[in-house]
Structure 1
Amino acid sequence: MAKVSIVRVEDEAIFDSVRRSVDLIGGIGRFVKSGDLTVIKVNMFIKADYPTGKITDPRAVIAVARLAAEQGATVKVVERTANIYADFAQFPEIGNYAEVISVDNLPHRHLTVPGAESLRVELSIPDIVTQCDVFINMPSLRTHALTLMSGALKNLMGILPGAQPGYVHLCGLEQSIVDLNLFRPSNLVVMDAIYTLQGNFPCEGSPLKTDLILAGDNAVAVDTISALLLGFQPAKIVHLMEAKRRKLGPIEPDRIELLGESLEDVAGQIRLEKAPSSYEVFRGRFTIIDSSACNSCRQALAGGLVAASHREGFEKVKDLTIITGPMEKEPGPKTENVVLYGNCTCRYRHIGNYIQGCPPLAGQAAEAILSVVEKRR
């Protein structure tokens, strides 16, 4: 049975909370041995301060690195993009326990993911990802415009250097997330929920101080408990259902041994704003053709429309048709401006602004909608 712990962070005692969360599931010695090359994959591809909730809290990363280093491991903290260096700039203590590295700068091999169902393209995989003895996954907890929530499973997109995470969106987001996790399973997950990012991320979002650390020995189990904390049913989250189907881990709470704080008590004290899931309020203003659209594109498009509505110039957007989902014949009637959202609309890309992806980013929808204003100038 998978184990997941929930521990409160009190009086900023982050190291003690991280250590207790790991101790509850067997202790760091269960996962890390002397001499192990240990990789800690953080979520720090954005340049930000930790109170924004947009990055893994560096203080929590230092705690995990210290635990591993005290076992005698060689520890590397990794993330794509050079922003990881800026995010640790105010935390030189990390150098006592680990080396901080952007995977963009590491040796890599070109390969295809064995058994991939969606991510069937050649990728550059850093050698350290496949050669390390221990892979520790350190996401931060957040709601998300595309996947409802983001946690341990989605954090694996950051093992791909440069612009390659874009392939995950092009090939099928939820299925590709699972492909990556089957390729590089996490030995240990320590989730930072000191500040939880709520709302319409990555277009928008605001932090909520929740003062929690979660730890687990299975990424799917940790994300399942995280989803419940955020108020989501795991069966409604596509990449969790995909992970269950492919036997990556359990999404049923009765198959997860929960340790530490009570899920009911903690969840009852958290009131988070979720990402928008509907764009019906915009249907009267724009022509939206979506009768065959999947839930993933609907969810992402909702995030893009809401984000666009909060930006300058949205009130000037007129004569817009948005098309999403597969169509047997060219849709019509259409207005002067047309946005085609998602891979399924590719065959009609000649009639408007085609946005590739499965689903595309919500931010791409927002930018395409607001570009109508620029076009009219």
Structure 2
Amino acid sequence: MDTSTVRAALVLEDGTILSGRAFGAIGSSFGEAVFCTGMTGYQETLTDPSYHGQIVVQTAPQIGNTGWNDEDGESARIQVAGYVVRDASRRASNWRSRRGLGEELARQGIVGVTGVDTRSLTRRLRERGAMRAGVFSGDALTGPAEMTALVQAGPVMAGAELASRVSTAEPYVRPAVGTARFRVAVLDLGVKANTLRMLAARGIESHVLPASCSPDRLMALEPDGVFLSNGPGDPAAMTPAVELARAVLERRIPLFGICFGNQILGRALGRPTYKMRYGHRGTNIPVVDSATGRVSITAQNHGFAVEGEPGERFDSPYGAALVSHHCLNDGAVEGLRCLDVPAFSVQYHPEAAAGPHDAASLFDDFVSLMGEAS
């Protein structure tokens, strides 16, 4: 079905309405409008479970020119609530492409809009913050007041528990590549496929567990280490995951967390978290290691952060800890390291799919931590 002539609009909770044309499925969808600055990797962005419940605005001017393939998904389905682009490519050109992006969006029921001034929209979201939004097309496109009221009636992201919606329902095992060196319990809060690939490449057998996993169930695996994955929602709503992290810290099992996992570890250490104005979402975000001064360009996708100051040392129920990394753009906490128990985390994505690979060595640091503890 050709939807290029079907009218569509993005409606923000402040009453802003941006008109365009339908891209993907026809209808309406609701979520939190956020922007992603990545110039590449739209398929990985769309399938990243951390984007569950969000309407993603791409700042790159043209999206869809490499189509859709069957290899680059970070999960089994598209996770975004809606999609907003400036210029949807009219044709795809890539040797791995199996179908067009618009076709795949429609196949999975994702309502999108193209022809929107995404530069103006991104400036509004930067100035006023991420906000509730709706994408409307076809018969769902009604009057401004009616559409705005529907958007304003939607749930807010603060306080939202979304990890259970994207986590695995049943445990499963991702084998190591070659000989298994370590057994790791992966708490699936929305884990990305490339994370499991990178663990497997280092001889790690990953036992992927549901977000609701209890400490007893995890400990029964007798893991060499525990990994806390990325995921969507508010970390303040994740009490079971925080309690599990505390149980791991008490037993001194090596722990590594990324993104949402960084926030879970932070709360386990007694640090508050907060909702950022518009978050960090892209593949070009500079982070500095407070100990070495080394700067890494990182891939990120988060709207919440741990409270703290660059290089800050603090006491926790598990001994001393420090803010190990921070963002050069705004000073936000980008990493935590415990000094008395074997645990560390980062707010960014060392698996970087798509994105830079500056931080891939953090997986090796996790392996070293488990080796020291064994």
Global fold match (TM > 0.5): no
Q: TM-score range by the shorter chain?
A: under 0.3
| TM value normalised by structure 1 | 0.28
Pick 1 or 2: higher relative contact order, CA cutoff 8 A, min separation 6: 1
Higher strand share goes to which structure?
2
Higher helix share goes to which structure?
1
| TM value normalised by structure 2 | 0.28
